[in-house]
């Protein structure tokens, strides 16, 4: 495994830990939302974007493809940090019976963003190759 892929895996694992750990930690610390956040489906849903990103970004063998995957993984970690860290430190107060849906909706939107961003990034890579090849 080359350096770009190792970094991509590291960034994806860091984002996964942040995404799964946030509802787990908030559920343990705040007794009012414990029942809603410590449900296995909520925690499993958090892994979907990172598994999808790994499946989309890690198989590429060309250096530009692995670089794009690393950059997108870094962007995904930044996005996860911007979303989850305020919840962890209490800037966004969480409560109520629909608090689990916040994490489900965040997962759905993140997954859609991963698919769209991947299509755009690799579409640009493909068009650049075609332009260099002269076809």
State yes or no: pLDDT of 95 exceeds 90. no
For the entire predicted model, the pTM comes to: 0.88
Domain segments of the chain as ranges: 3-133
Residue 82 pLDDT: 93
Residue 54 pLDDT: 94
Q: How far is CA 86 from CA 12, 26, 41, 81, 121, in A?
A: 20, 11, 22, 8, 29
- Quote the percentage of the chain above a pLDDT of 70: 99
Mean pLDDT, the chain, whole residue set: 90
> Quick check: 36 and 23 in contact, CB under 8 A?
no
């Amino acid at each position: 495994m080359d350096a770009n892929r190792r970094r991509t895996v590291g960034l994806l694992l860091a984002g996964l830990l942040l995404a799964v750990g946030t509802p787990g930690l908030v559920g343990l610390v705040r007794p009012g939302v414990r029942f809603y956040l410590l449900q296995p489906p909520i925690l499993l849903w958090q892994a979907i974007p990172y598994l999808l990103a790994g499946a989309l970004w890690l198989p590429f063998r060309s250096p530009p493809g692995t670089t794009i995957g690393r950059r997108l993984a870094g962007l995904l970690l930044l996005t996860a940090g911007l979303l989850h860290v305020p919840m962890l430190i209490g800037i966004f107060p969480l409560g109520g019976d629909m608090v689990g849906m916040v994490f489900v909706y965040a997962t759905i939107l993140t997954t859609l963003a991963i698919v769209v961003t991947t299509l755009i990034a690799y579409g640009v890579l493909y068009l650049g190759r075609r332009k260099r090849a002269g076809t």
